[in-house]
């Protein structure tokens, strides 16, 4: 009888991956990033263990929306008080805080549990091509369109 392999949290080997977001559609890029953060690209993937890699994304201001999503898509939050609903259009959020557009997309694709929050801490988003993680030697990760 065979047993299923279960990764141990302290035995997981993590890499640092570098992704250039230039020209990528938000949803397509977010699915790839979520897959890398969860560790689903590894043969030792275990659903209840954080087996993912660190992901550094540069040029997040150059992501693309298709169709009329740039004008129509709304990001909503609520303060908890009556009448406290705040809405921001995607075009305004992309101008003011471009890294949040990709952050919200990736966050929605990860598990909505403490494990998902832990996996999200391994995501680093930067406007422009520069990042402060040269000491970690991130490997360029080639995404396929």
pLDDT > 90? residue 1: no
Contact 57, 51 (CB under 8 A): no
The alpha-carbon radius of gyration of the chain (Å, integer) is: 17
Tokens for 4?
A: 């299923």
Q: In what order do the strands lie in the sheet with 54-58?
A: 123-125, 54-58, 16-20, 139-140
pLDDT > 80? residue 116: yes
pLDDT > 80? residue 145: no
- Report the pLDDT value the prediction gives residue 56, as an integer from 0 to 100: 98
User: CA–CA distance from 42 to each of 7, 12, 14, 140 (Å)?
Assistant: 11, 10, 10, 17
- Report the pLDDT value the prediction gives residue 39, as an integer from 0 to 100: 96
Which one of 3.90.1180.10, 2.40.50.140, 3.40.50.2300, 3.30.420.40 gives the CATH number of domain 15-65+97-140? 3.90.1180.10
DSSP 8-class letter at 40 = T
Mean pLDDT of 48-69: 97
The 10s digit of each residue's pLDDT in 65-110 is 999 999 999 999 999 999 999 999 999 999 999 999 999 999 999 9
Beta pairing partners, 54: 16
Report residue 2's pLDDT band, with 50, 70 and 90 as the boundaries: confident
Contact 39, 110 (CB under 8 A): no
Domain residue spans of the chain? 15-65+97-140
- Report the pLDDT value the prediction gives residue 129, as an integer from 0 to 100: 96
The 10s digit of each residue's pLDDT in 26-47 is 999 999 999 999 999 999 999 9
């Amino acid at each position: 009888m065979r047993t299923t392999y279960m990764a141990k949290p302290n035995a997981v080997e993590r890499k640092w991956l570098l992704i250039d977001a230039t020209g990528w559609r938000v949803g397509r890029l977010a699915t790839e990033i979520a897959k890398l953060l969860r560790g689903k690209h590894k043969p030792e993937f275990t659903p209840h263990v954080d087996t993912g890699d660190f992901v550094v994304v540069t040029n997040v201001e150059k992501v693309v929306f298709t169709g009329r999503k740039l004008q129509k898509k709304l990001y909503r939050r609520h303060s908890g008080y009556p009448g406290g609903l705040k809405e921001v259009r995607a075009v305004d959020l992309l101008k003011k805080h471009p890294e949040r557009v990709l952050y919200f997309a990736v966050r929605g694709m990860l598990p909505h549990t403490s494990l998902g929050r832990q996996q999200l801490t391994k995501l680093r988003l930067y406007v422009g091509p520069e990042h402060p993680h040269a000491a970690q030697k991130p490997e360029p990760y080639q995404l396929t369109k």
